[in-house]
Amino acid sequence: MAADARRKRPVTDLHFLSATQAAAAIAARTLSPVELMQALLQRIWRLDPRLNVFIQLDGEAALAAARAAEAEIMAGRPRGPLHGVPVGIKDIIDVAGLPTTCHSKILRGNIAKADAVCVAKLRQAGAIVLGKLSTHEFAIGGPSFDLPWPPARNPWNRDHHPGGSSSGSGAGVAAGLFPMALGSDTGGSVRNPASCCGIVGLKPTYGLVSRRGVFPLSFTLDHVGPMTRTVADNALMLEAIAGHDPLDPGSAAGVPGRYAARLDRGVRGLRVGFVRHFHETDQPADPAVTAALEQVARCLQEEGADLRDVTLPALGAFRDVNRIILQSEAWAIHAPWLRERPGDYGQLARRRLLAGAFMAAGDYVEAQRLRTSMIARVEEALRDVDVLLCASSMDPACRIDNPADIERTYPRQARVPFNVTGHPAIAMMAGLSANGLPLSVQFVGRYFDEALLFQVARAWEKATGTDGKHPPIE
């Protein structure tokens, strides 16, 4: 590595390097993977006792992998586009040799025998796994204080929750503990932490990323997605993990695209459909959220987009369909443990999972029938526009120690429609509230057209500099 470059760069400059920047510097031999890993580990040791991002930090193995990555670079043998870049893994996703606990006493000590497909693909691209990250119990119950590990906290304000269920992923990326993480999304669980923590979170097209090796919550709603601080990093990460898996029954046979190819083309001439009724009438949003969404719309218009209002089914109808399908399928997964070991669940997860026991088969069939019509409505809208613009969260993150406020605000979101329909959706920062918490926006695209989604998201990011806004934690 270039010793002069290492001497001139303070270690504190490294924690907010993007994955794209880090990968380029490592490839150019101006940054050592060991130097980067040591800087991030120092930051983790200092900040994580306050944030509870990690369930298990695998620091020694990550440092050994960084040394191997440095040797490979010096020998001219880079593994791929993410060579030497650290990544955190949500603890419902298997990493060989590490526990997959799902943040639950039920699976404490459950050691994964092999990497999940998405983790294996990241390793093939050269990424280095740092460890397993906090989640809500089984990706449904939280934030909870009655589990073996404490809940993750929001780095913008530790008294507030970071969103869920990919809570450690969102908090850790935002806090500069690692540049990228894997999350999962069944009713918004990648996009909620992205919204609360001010990062970029993508729920890809259903079936684009394999879920093999990921503990399921709902077979027909589950997605795996990338979480990063920048749009470019999200595209880079998706290129690494996308692809058909014949052993995942929900995997799509389409060929993955070049997702970063159109990042800087802007939005001039693109048709953007604004789904205003989600946040204006279906679930009236906090005024700060409404103002932020209007600012996004104005900015895209100023950049040359053709903005149009679009009407979809009511948000409540989407939510009901998602709830019935999710709870029915989750009950099918958890029924044996709920019968045999109900006391080993936290109170929130137990209550939410038990609701599935009271779903009738007819309810499930009717929800799937309605789902088909909802897909058709969104498809019809996307024939007239190129992307949709809508709310993600209707409120900034509330306090983590206020159960009533958490119960009130968690359902106030517009993410579930696109788990129901399977369209790709990306959430990112739209601004900051008066008390310094992130506000969010969501963009939704056509099936397998993540490249266009990234193009629009990058136009907003570039115009307003959201990728340069970081929480004040140090």
pLDDT mean over 7-18:
69
Burial letters 151-171, b for 16+ CB under 10 A, else e: bbbbbbbbebbbbbbbbbbbb
Instruction: Identify the pLDDT of residue 3.
Output: 41
Instruction: Identify the pLDDT of residue 255.
Output: 72
DSSP 425-456: EEEEEEEE-TTS-EEEEEEE--TT-HHHHHHH
Catalytic residue among 104, 134, 144, 165: 165
Judged against a pLDDT cut of 60, whether residue 28 lies above it is answered with yes
Judged against a pLDDT cut of 90, whether residue 13 lies above it is answered with no
165 is catalytic: yes
Higher pLDDT pick, 103 / 10: 103
pLDDT mean over 225-253:
97
Instruction: Identify the pLDDT of residue 98.
Output: 98
What share of the chain has pLDDT > 90, as a percent? Answer: 96
Using DSSP's 3-state secondary structure scheme, residue 269 falls into coil
Judged against a pLDDT cut of 70, whether residue 424 lies above it is answered with yes
So where are the chain's domains? Answer: 3-468
Judged against a pLDDT cut of 80, whether residue 215 lies above it is answered with yes
Catalytic residue among 144, 167, 169, 189: 189
Instruction: Identify the pLDDT of residue 73.
Output: 96
199-209 per-position pLDDT tens digit: 999 999 999 99
* CATH architecture assigned to 3-468: Alpha-Beta Complex (3.90)
Judged against a pLDDT cut of 60, whether residue 5 lies above it is answered with no
pLDDT mean over 41-47:
98
What gap in Å lies between CA 440 and CA 49, rounded to an integer?
Answer: 27
> Residue 469 phi/psi, 5° resolution?
-95, 125
Judged against a pLDDT cut of 70, whether residue 231 lies above it is answered with yes
DSSP 183-203: EEESSSTTHHHHHHHT-EEEE
What gap in Å lies between CA 102 and CA 110, rounded to an integer?
Answer: 10
8 is catalytic: no
pLDDT mean over 292-312:
98
Residues pairing with 27 in the sheet: none
442: Cα separation from own chain's centroid? 12
What share of the chain has pLDDT > 70, as a percent? Answer: 97
pLDDT tier, 330 (very low <50, low <70, confident <90, very high otherwise):
very high
pLDDT tier, 8 (very low <50, low <70, confident <90, very high otherwise):
very low
Instruction: Identify the pLDDT of residue 10.
Output: 44
Arithmetic mean of pLDDT over the chain: 96
pLDDT tier, 254 (very low <50, low <70, confident <90, very high otherwise):
confident
In this structure, how many other beta carbons lie within 10 angstroms of the beta carbon of residue 399? 13
Which residue in 398, 424, 423 sits closest to 411, CA to CA?
Answer: 398
Catalytic residue among 18, 32, 90, 203: 90
pLDDT mean over 265-272:
98
